[in-house]
Amino acid sequence: MSSADIGRLIEAAIWAPSGGNAQSWRFVVVQEERSIRRLRMVSPGLPGPPPCVIAVCQNGELAEQRGARLGREKLTLFDAAMAAQNIMLAAHAVGLGTCVVASFHAGGVKDVLKLPPGVEPVLLVAVGRPAEVPSPPSRRREGVVFDETYRGH
């Protein structure tokens, strides 16, 4: 992982949409082997070990200051997800692979990353060189997409 590549991913992340332009997200780029190992200990969903993990975090207090309750309760999640998506697309564009992870113990991740009170991890994005490109799960439109009005259940 070159620092230029990581810089591109972070640049993509901070240009993601942000509800009310709160930009209450915080990103922690983790590359040290011991830190990655410790993250994996508390994050069952984290594959690997990857050479890099980007923790997408949110400052809930800041989000509430800038976006009230909607900001803290919902926009923090939307913003983190959109930032993570940007990271993954930017990674794909430079030939990297990613895995976005929500299965982790938040307290453990906070300890490993030394997050201050009020800053919570929302998603972890593992980044690395893909050993293989797995075939994607199927997707369907029928019963999922509707014209004008919803039909069915």
Strand runs labelled E in the chain: 25-30, 52-59, 97-101, 119-128
The two tokens of residue 126 are 């593992």
**Nearest-approach distance from CB 41 to other proteins, in angstroms:** 3
3-state class (DSSP) for residue 23: coil
Local structure of residue 125 (DSSP, 8 states): E
Contact (CB, 8 A) for 84 and 125: yes
Binding to other proteins by residue 41, rule CB under 8 A? yes
Question: In a 10 Å sphere around its CB, with 0-12 CB exposed, 13-18 middle and 19+ buried, how is residue 25 labelled?
Answer: buried
- Residue 137 CA, chain-centre distance (Å), reads 20
Looking at 40, 66, 72, 110, which residue binds other proteins (CB under 8 A)? 40
Torsion of CA 72, 77, 79, 84, to 10 degrees: 150
**Nearest-approach distance from CB 37 to other proteins, in angstroms:** 6
By CB under 8 A, the residues from 49 to 108 that bind other proteins are 103-105, 108
Binding to other proteins by residue 44, rule CB under 8 A? yes
Looking at 1, 10, 42, 81, which residue binds other proteins (CB under 8 A)? 42
Q: Is 6 or 123 the residue whose CB approaches other proteins more closely? A: 123
Q: Is 41 or 89 the residue whose CB approaches other proteins more closely? A: 41
Query: Which region among 41-49, 60-68, 92-100, 113-121 touches other proteins (by CB under 8 A)?
Result: 41-49
**Nearest-approach distance from CB 77 to other proteins, in angstroms:** 15
Which chain residues interact with other proteins by CB under 8 A?
37-38, 40-45, 103-105, 108
